[in-house]
Structure 1
Amino acid sequence: MSETVASRIIASLTRSRTTIAVAESLTGGLLTSALVDVPGASAVLHGGVVAYDTALKHSVLGVDAEVLAAHGAVHPDVAMQMAVGVRTALEVRGEPAAIGLSTTGVAGPEPQDGHDAGVVFIGLAIGHDVRSFPLRLEGDRRSIREQTVERALEILEDFL
């Protein structure tokens, strides 16, 4: 399913000449890979950052250290700040990406930051419109990561 959605996203972004950058935590590169799998993605995809360690969310993506200290990495504000931060972190020739898409959450099997496995937030930043989308997913670690990619792509497609 995600390949079809990813193909439609890349086609839409290409038609509108809109660029995208991706920031990932629990998905570990799967979301960027789903986009890269589509021929022609290089025309619109700036790249992806896997900020798996919480400290990288601050140092690379600019997530507010106070937000991370207060809430941990699994929080809607973190998802939104990751989506905003990756646009400039992956500037190309001085141009930030028009869209930032991010994933943060708990794939499991153990809880993290007081959240059970399956608690996930998708961040989406398009222009000044920045949003977070909470997900409650079920399944094993692999399934939660795959479902997160599918939902992130569906959310992005809905906004394009």
Structure 2
Amino acid sequence: MLPQDIEASAAAVIQAALKAGVMVATAESCTGGLVSAALTAIAGSSAVLDRGFVTYSNEAKAELLGVSDALLSEFGAVSEPVARAMAMGAVARSRAAVSVSITGVAGPGGGSVEKPVGLVHFAAVARDGAVVHVARRFGDIGRGEVRMESVRIALALLLDAVST
């Protein structure tokens, strides 16, 4: 169902989380649950995936993850501060010690000069509590491709976070 490299990355996350004895959570916006889907495609994922939050709207980000209205108003949903707050909220509102968040503009519309189509912000909370942020500008490569590339980066960040 998913590309082979994504399934391999998801399997690596599951194995690393099992070895580390940690639960993980996801907080997804533009990927709409694809990271969780990749993880749950792997047998044994129930031992490490606590939950996935699909928070497409600002209201969902606030209600489910505790992202403040002030952050959303000041920086917008597609921003570093919101990605960080989403990742921290996923840990705070789950049994997970590690999380990854994704928020971006997948396209084809919805972009602006400041936040063009293909801009995606990621954050990951590691086992030691450190939060890492990454931003990518994929360009207008198509909605599906922005989402798939985002899954690849999110899984890599999650693997690093589990291993830290």
Superposition TM-score, scaled by structure 1 size: 0.92
Match of 2:155 among 148, 153, 156: 153
Deviates more, 1:125-134 or 1:110-119: 110-119
Distance 2:111 2:56 in 1: 13
What pairs up with 1:13-92 in 2 under 5 angstroms? Answer: 13-90=17-94
Structure 1 contact 21–100 (Cα < 8 Å) conserved: yes
Deviates more, 1:71-80 or 1:111-120: 111-120
Distance 2:157 2:131 in 1: 13
Does residue 144 of structure 1 match 2:146? yes
Structure 1 contact 80–132 (Cα < 8 Å) conserved: yes
Extract unaligned runs of 5+ from structure 2: none
Q: Supply the AA of the counterpart residue of 2:129.
A: H
Deviates more, 1:32-41 or 1:57-66: 57-66
> How far is the alpha carbon of 1:112 from its aligned partner?
4.1
> In percent, how many aligned pairs have the same letter?
35
Deviation digits for residues 83-132 of structure 1, max 9, x if unmatched?
01011223xxxxx3100111001001113474111100111012420121
Structure 2 contact 14–39 (Cα < 8 Å) conserved: yes
> How far is the alpha carbon of 1:55 from its aligned partner?
1.4
Structure 1 vs Structure 2 CA RMSD: 1.3
Q: Which residue of 2 aligns with 1:111?
A: 110
Give the paired residue count: 155
Structure 1 contact 77–132 (Cα < 8 Å) conserved: no
Q: Supply the AA of the counterpart residue of 2:124.
A: L
Extract unaligned runs of 5+ from structure 1: 91-95
Distance 2:57 2:111 in 1: 12
